[in-house]
Structure 1
């Protein structure tokens, strides 16, 4: 397999979230995909399987397991596909459902936008919230009461937990094994920790122990889930454009632009940069 390396949600290869991309994984088995993702060492690698004009299947693997949907790897895959086939709109068949992706080129830079599956959110059980806060080493006083805790979905499930202060968000020191066990039991992909700077600007961090990663640098799937959560709880007035800053606290700053329509999927967009060589694993929270 030829594995290409991109970073999504940043034009700087030292920022954003790195992903591996295989443009044609036809005939590649699950075990081979998982092994390749582990060798790459990024939080996810996307494996594309062309099906016809404008139609591709896609599988996403972390170094430890398959995930149903990954936003940043979708953006990376869209840009890699554009380099080979030119800009345009195509559809990815993911395990979470169909995801439309479009790309444009401006001043030599590719910008990709995906539209998520229909988002939704559910209340979190009291016992789960207690266990989650204990694993994060947070307590109730750390939460922003204006943004209630929910478990949100836009292709994968992510608890959304809003910090009352930027300082609380910056101080990430959680129990890796405890959180990993809880997330595996509840089928949560990442934890979307956020702080609201203004009505349309958010800062986020995403613990990702199920993928063997302490923290995912910039998480498109969780951002899409956040957009759906905010719309459902009427915390934004659609149509709205939101900005999510992520990765600053781990030295890989990236920016996600969310489009929140009145109905339907949430759009997630951002620039990318191509890696000339594999990035240093230590900079991405990789656990050997």
Structure 2
């Protein structure tokens, strides 16, 4: 039997029980794939980040959902680096992170904010019928046409392709009641992983956008606070010239309709994007992991 320290860390927030939770195992060297998957399943977060040594970078991160390994997770990356910084595992500075198939740049600021490289922005305008998109979201088509005259719908990819859909006012975004099969069909036709509806009408005075993400192809009715979609949306509005020059960073708020409010900061010139955010640990404990050849259940202590 092996015992490992485990954490639950809420990413894209400085307040506990907000943002998007991730599991974090700060020392995962020596664990088998089955053990990693079992720990992720026991913790139950949408993603658990496992921190390992790397021959190619400063750290290697592996990401597991309760059911499968993932090639990336922005919120779990923020959670992992924030937890390492908080516990003295690394200092403020710039780092390289190895993931499946690539390395990515990460920067930790002295205040604990973690910035993560997403990548080059690929933006393609699409033209589904307003009535079809509105029906999929359960809102009036006029709420899309009103803003769509100046800001068309697009599939934007800074790491994952999202269908970004501008909505005129927060009041209408708050009324979204998605028809998930219709959302999935729409996303599949434009090769997007999900639909991200957003508005410039926000709750917080600092925020630039309020967004809500829906990814039924992944079994996600509504995402909490998603870095990949926020980064894609931030690059999109910057590239479309929808922001004036006084806006340095795009501040994307979300999660309010799931009682998990959070904020993603996006640094983008419209050609590439970085996302950043804070994180807070909500659970600190240990987990007993059966040997790789044992069939016993994992026991949390």
Structure 2 residue corresponding to 1:188, chosen from 178, 183, 192: 192
* Corresponding position of 1:246: 254
- The residue correspondences of 1:1-288 to structure 2 (distance < 5 A) are 2-26=5-29, 28=31, 33-52=36-55, 54-82=57-85, 83-87=87-91, 88-95=93-100, 97-106=102-111, 110-124=112-126, 126=128, 133-138=134-139, 140-143=141-144, 144-145=147-148, 146-180=150-184, 183=187, 188-197=192-201, 201-236=208-243, 240-261=248-269, 263=271, 265-276=272-283
SS of residue paired to 1:122: strand
Mapped partners of 1:96, 1:131: distance in 2: 37
Rounded to whole Å, the distance in 2 between the matches of 1:67 and 1:210 is 15
Q: List gaps (5 residues or longer) in structure 1.
A: 279-288
SS in 2 for 1:161: strand
- Structure 1 residue 276: deviation in Å? 2.4
2:299 maps to none
TM-score, normalization by structure 2: 0.77
Stretches of structure 2 that go unaligned for 5 or more consecutive residues are 286-301
C-alpha displacement at 1:218, in angstroms? Answer: 0.9
Contact 1:194 1:204 in 2 (8 A): yes
Per the TM alignment, residue 32 of structure 1 is displaced from its structure 2 partner at its CA by 5.1
Change (3 A) 1:3 1:147: farther
**Retained in 1: the 8 A contact 2:264–2:276?**
yes
- How far apart, CA to CA, are the structure 1 residues paired with 2:31 and 2:78? 22
**Match of 1:286?**
none
Alignment: residue pair count: 273
Deviation at 1:259, TM superposition (A): 1.4
SS of residue in 2 equivalent to 1:191: strand
User: Following the alignment from structure 2 to structure 1, what is the Cα–Cα distance between the partners of residues 194 and 143?
Assistant: 19
Per-residue deviation at 1:79? 1.1
Contact kept in structure 2, 1:202 and 1:245, CA below 8 Å: yes
* Rg (Cα) greater in structure: 2
Relative to 1, partners in 2 of residues 1:35 and 1:177: Cα closer, same or farther, differing over 3 Å? farther
